[in-house]
Structure 1
Amino acid sequence: MFRLTRRSAQMQKNNRNKKKDGADGFRPVLFGGIALTVLLLFFAVIFSSQEFGPFYKLLLDVAGPIQKGTNYLAAPFHSVREKYLDLLTVREEKQRLLEELQKCRAAAYANRGAAALNARLRKLLEFKESSGLPTVTARIVGKDPSPWFRSVIIDRGLSDGVDKGMPVVTGEGIVGQVYAASSGYAKVLLAISPSSAIDVLLQDSRVRGILKGTGGNSYRLEYILKTVEVAKGDHVVTAGYGGMFPPGLPVGIVSEVIRNRRGMFLEIEVVPAVDFSTLENLLVIEQKKKEFRP
C-alpha cells in the first residue's frame, strides 16, 4: 500500500515537471511571435502606402506609441552625441585660432623689427648724405660687458678701411672711437665709457667743456664755469678740436645742472643723443686721427 502511494506521488510530480517544462519552452516562442508581429507591423507602417482595414489601423495605433517612445528614449543620446561632436569641433577651432594668433604675433614682431631697422638705416643714409664725409657701414657683432671699459666689436677692419682713431657715429649722434683693429674686425670704445673724454661745446653759448662717460647711460660735462648760463634742455655738440671728431655732431642734451657752493665749476649731467641699449648698425668716418690711447 505504501509502495503504491509513493509511486503515485512520483508520477504526479513527473507530470507537473513536464507541464512546467512545456510552459517554459512555450514562453520564448510566444514572446518571439509577438516581437515578430510588432516588427512586421513596424516595417509595414514605414514602407507601405496602401490602406488596410480596421485590424491594420488597430495595429498601427499599437505600433505608433511604441515608435514614439523609442524616439523619446533615444533623443537624449542623440543630444549628448551632438554636444560631444560640437565640443570636439570647438576644441579643434580653438587650437587652429591659437596657432593663427601665434603666427600673427610673430609676423607683427617681425614687422616692427623690420620697421625699426629700416628707420635706423634711413637715418644712417641721411647722415651720410648730409655730412659728405667718407664712411664705412658696420654692424655690431659683440659687446664688452665690463661697465668700466664699455666697448663693442664691429664687423669691419683694416681690410675695409677702418683704422685706429676713427670716430664712430649713428644717425642720432656720436657713438665712440675705434681704438683697436684687425684685418676683419675692430673694437670701438663707447663714448659713455669712463675711459672716454671728448671735447664738446654747448651749442647755443659756444662754451667749451669736456664730456666724460659714467659707465651708465649718461655723461658728465666738466669744466663749465659757474658764471656760464646753462639750462636743462641745452644741446651739446662736438667741438672738433684736436682732430678727433668732426665739429657739430650731436652728443646729447643737458638733463641736470647743479650749482655747488664750493668749487668753480658746474656739475652737469647730459643724456646721450644715442640710445646705446639699441645699437646695431653704425657708421665709421674714414678720417685719420691721432692714435687713441684709452
Structure 2
Amino acid sequence: MENQPPPFFKRGPAPLALLSFYVALSVALLVVDARLQALEVLRQALSLFTQPLQQLAHLPAHSIASAGDYFVSLTHLREENARLQQARMEKATTVLRTQQLEAENERLRKLLGVKERQHARGQVAQILYTARDPYTRRIVIDRGQQDQVVAGLPVIDDAGVVGQVTRVFPFVAEVTLITDKEQAVPVQIVRTGQRSVVFGLGNGQLELRFLPANADVQNGDELVTSGLDGIFLPGFPVARVVHVERDTSYSFARIFCMPLAGVENFSEVMVLEQRPPVALPAEIAQPGREAKALKSASVRKKRPRRE
C-alpha cells in the first residue's frame, strides 16, 4: 500500500463554484424580497443593531458641525445685540424728549382749558386677500360685524394711515386703501401747517390738491391727518411729498406724494374705534332757540308802556 502524506492545505470546493453559489443565493434573496417582502422583518431587526453604530460613527462629524454652528450663532447674536443696544441708546434721547413734550403739552392744555386729544383705540386685524377688481385698491380683513366693525372706520398700521372700511360683512370687512382713486383724506403739512386734501391716484401714489401754485410746499414735507373730516384723529402720518410741479398757467400746483404706511406690503392692520360725536353748544345745536329769543325781545321792545 502506498502511503501518501496528507495535504498541507485542506482544499474545498472550487472558487468558481463558490462564486456561482453566492451569486445565485443573492439573486434568489433579491427576488424573494422584491416579490414577497420576506426580508422586511429581518431588515428591521438588523436596523435595531446597526442604527446605534451609525450614530456613533457620525457623532464626531456632527459634534464638529454643531460646535461650529454654535460659535457662529454666538458671534451673530453678540453683533446683533451690540447693534440693538446702540440703536436703543441713540433713540433713548428722542423717546425721553417725546415723553417730556407730551407731558408738557398736557399741562399746557389743562392750563389753557383746552380739551385733551382723544387717544386712539382699536383692534388688530389680519389681511386675508386683496379685492378681485384690478382697477381698485382694496383689501379684505378678518374682522366684521361680529367684531363691532362698521363702515367708515379708519384703518392704520405701525407707520401711518392705510385706508378706511367701506363695506362690512358678518365675518370680514373690505378696506379701501388711501391710494384708491375714490379715496380722499384731509391732511395738514407738518412744516407749514397748511391744510388740504390728499387723493389717491390708483397707482400707489397720492396727489395733494387745492393748493395754489405758489404754495410753500417742498419735497420731503410730511403730511398728517388734520382731523377735519371727523373720521381720522389728527396727527396720524399719511404721506410724504416726492415731486412738485408748478405751472403759472394753472391756479393750483400738482403735488405728488408717497404713502408712509405699508399700503401695498403689510399683513396686520389696526381698525380704530369710531370717534365720539362732538358736543355742540346749545346755541348751535338748537338755532331756533336763539331766533325765538331775539324775536321775543324785539316784540317786547315794540310794545308801548302803560302809563
TM value normalised by structure 2 = 0.51
- Tell me the distance in 1 between the aligned counterparts of 2:141 and 2:201: 22
The one-letter amino acid of 2:274's match is Q
For the structure 1 residues 235 and 194, does the alpha-carbon distance in structure 2 shift closer, same or farther, using more than 3 Å as the test? same
User: Greater RCO between the two (CA within 8 Å, min separation 6)?
Assistant: 1
For the structure 1 residues 198 and 289, does the alpha-carbon distance in structure 2 shift closer, same or farther, using more than 3 Å as the test? farther
Q: Following superposition of structure 1 onto structure 2, how do residues 15-34 of structure 1 map, counting pairs within 5 Å? A: none
Which of 265, 273, 281 is equivalent to 1:286? 273
TM-superposed CA distance for 1:203, in Å, is 1.1
Q: Between the two proteins, what is the percent identity of the paired residues?
A: 29
Q: Tell me which protein shows more helix as a share of its residues.
A: 1
Other-structure match for 1:195: 182
TM-superposed CA distance for 1:254, in Å, is 0.3
Other-structure match for 2:227: 240
TM-superposition CA deviations, 1:102-148 (whole Å, max 9, x none): xx9xxxxxxxxxxxxxxxxxxxxxxxxx9832201100101014343
TM-superposed CA distance for 1:182, in Å, is 1.6
Other-structure match for 2:196: 209
Q: Following superposition of structure 1 onto structure 2, how do residues 127-206 of structure 1 map, counting pairs within 5 Å? A: 132-206=119-193
Other-structure match for 1:252: 239
- Tell me the distance in 1 between the aligned counterparts of 2:271 and 2:175: 10
Q: Following superposition of structure 1 onto structure 2, how do residues 210-225 of structure 1 map, counting pairs within 5 Å? A: 210-225=197-212
Which of 248, 254, 263 is equivalent to 1:267? 254
**Conserved? CA contact 2:162–2:262, under 8 Å:** no
Number of paired residues?
176
For the structure 1 residues 241 and 147, does the alpha-carbon distance in structure 2 shift closer, same or farther, using more than 3 Å as the test? farther
- Tell me the distance in 2 between the aligned counterparts of 1:180 and 1:267: 31
Runs of 4+ with deviation above 6 angstroms:
none
- Tell me the distance in 2 between the aligned counterparts of 1:267 and 1:142: 33
- Tell me the distance in 2 between the aligned counterparts of 1:193 and 1:167: 14
The one-letter amino acid of 1:284's match is V
RMSD (Å) for aligned C-alpha atoms: 3.3
Q: Following superposition of structure 1 onto structure 2, how do residues 19-168 of structure 1 map, counting pairs within 5 Å? A: 132-168=119-155
TM-superposition CA deviations, 1:131-167 (whole Å, max 9, x none): 8322011001010143432111000011112111100
For the structure 1 residues 145 and 268, does the alpha-carbon distance in structure 2 shift closer, same or farther, using more than 3 Å as the test? farther
- Tell me the distance in 2 between the aligned counterparts of 1:265 and 1:185: 40
For the structure 1 residues 202 and 149, does the alpha-carbon distance in structure 2 shift closer, same or farther, using more than 3 Å as the test? same
TM value normalised by structure 1 = 0.53
For the structure 1 residues 172 and 131, does the alpha-carbon distance in structure 2 shift closer, same or farther, using more than 3 Å as the test? farther
Other-structure match for 2:292: none
TM-superposition CA deviations, 1:54-99 (whole Å, max 9, x none): xxxxxxxxxxxxxxxxxxxxxxxxxxxxxxxxxxxxxxx9xxxxxx
Report the structure number with the largest CA radius of gyration: 1
Q: Secondary structure of the equivalent of 1:159?
A: helix
**Conserved? CA contact 1:156–1:162, under 8 Å:** yes
For the structure 1 residues 261 and 289, does the alpha-carbon distance in structure 2 shift closer, same or farther, using more than 3 Å as the test? farther
The one-letter amino acid of 1:158's match is Q
- Tell me the distance in 2 between the aligned counterparts of 1:232 and 1:161: 40
